[in-house]
Amino acid sequence: MAEIVAAGEAMERALELLEGGDVVAIPTETVYGLAGDATNGIGVARIFEAKGRPRFNPLIAHVADLAMAERIALFDPLSKRLAQALWPGPLTLVLPQRPGNGIHPLVTAGLDTIALRMPKGFGGDLITRLGRPLAAPSANSSGKISATTAEAVAADLGARIRLVVDGGATPVGLESTIVKVEGGTLRLLRPGGIAAEEIEAIAGIKLLRGATAGIEAPGMLASHYAPGAPVRLNVEKIAKGEALLAFGGHRAEGWQGAAALRNLSASGDLREAASNLFAYLQELDRSGATSIAVEPIPFDGLGEAINDRLARAAAPRDISTSET
């Protein structure tokens, strides 16, 4: 069972767990977050595992200050103005990623944009001490409502995590508002802890609402990472010129002729496979192979989310998928 430790006494233990690639439930001003080091693929995979998320939705990366945010993402003047006015606070900005930012691709589900926010309180202090951003979705198991007290986190996730940092009831109690700047316009992707009007007053423009092609509504994400090369799943025999995305110790027939090969996990560890998934797909895509053949991956544990993402990567490109 997870230990519940008061925020005033939890810093060293939280740092130790995060440094070791583990997750920690932390208070923020909005809701409790289930945090992992955003640069550590195993830590990020553990977040999905603890939440029992059947899919890899992109997560919010939490930063300690604007300098850290600017090392991760490319700020246009409007985004910067919003960040300066409303951070720390319940505003999340979706921005283009800065290449080479060190963020693990599982955080962004392979997208080239990233959601960023600067939390108040213990979370902010923890990120400063760690010196790296924290990926943190709400600290609840998939399908349940967000937790606003340490006790609620422990009751839900206590058997699957080691530490809940208790900062009392979260003052906002609602997840952050998510907006995206698109060519001088602002789109509301998720209403939340900061009212749209407050953002509009600072931006001097109205927020666009509602989903358009490729834009995600709350919990609905139409844009997914899709490799340029076609993807074939559950492959037992590979064709000439294909790249192979392998799993485990048993190779598909013809593997010696693969144009490129990456093994998600030679030992068959689904957590390791999840942490390698997006990076390896991108590498095989860049290899110039005619297509990417993927070996069968079991459906248990994180395997369900891995198979979900692979199915999306393999789906016909003119059909846009959405998710909940």
Q: State CA 94 to chain mean position distance.
A: 12
Q: Is 92 in the site for ligand TXA (CB under 6 A)?
A: yes
Q: Which of 28, 40, 276, 291 binds ligand TXA (CB under 6 A)?
A: 28
Which amino acid, one-letter code, is at 29? E
CB atoms within 10 A of CB 13: 15
**Which CB sits closer to ligand TXA, 189 or 235?**
189
Q: Which of 178, 179, 292, 310 binds ligand TXA (CB under 6 A)?
A: 178
How many CA atoms does the CB half-sphere of 70 hold within 13 Å?
11
Tokens representing 9 are: 């006494």
Interface residues with Mg ion (CB under 5 A) are 138
Q: Which of 7, 10, 17, 114 binds ligand TXA (CB under 6 A)?
A: 114
- Are the C-beta atoms of 301 and 247 separated by less than 8 Å? no
Which amino acid, one-letter code, is at 130? L
Query: Which region among 87-95, 160-168, 206-214, 276-284 touches ligand TXA (by CB under 6 A)?
Result: 87-95
- What letter does residue 213 receive in the DSSP assignment? T
Q: Is 79 in the site for ligand TXA (CB under 6 A)?
A: no
Q: Is 47 helix (H, G, I), strand (E, B) or coil?
A: helix
Residue 60 binding partner per list Mg ion, ligand TXA, none, with a CB distance cut-off of 5 to 8 Å that depends on partner kind: ligand TXA
**Which CB sits closer to ligand TXA, 178 or 305?**
178
- Shortest Cβ 155–Mg ion spacing (Å): 16
Residue 221 binding partner per list ligand TXA, Mg ion, none, with a CB distance cut-off of 5 to 8 Å that depends on partner kind: ligand TXA
**Which CB sits closer to ligand TXA, 48 or 247?**
48
Q: Is 137 in the site for ligand TXA (CB under 6 A)?
A: yes
Tokens representing 72 are: 């991760």
Sign of CA dihedral 67, 69, 74, 78: negative
**Which CB sits closer to ligand TXA, 90 or 133?**
90
Sign of CA dihedral 39, 45, 46, 47: positive
Q: What does the alpha-carbon distance between residue 95 and residue 83 come to, in Å, rounded to a whole number?
A: 12
* Footprint on this chain of ligand TXA (rule: CB under 6 A): 28, 30-31, 33, 57-60, 90, 92, 94, 108, 111, 113-115, 119, 136-138, 175-176, 178, 189, 216, 219, 221
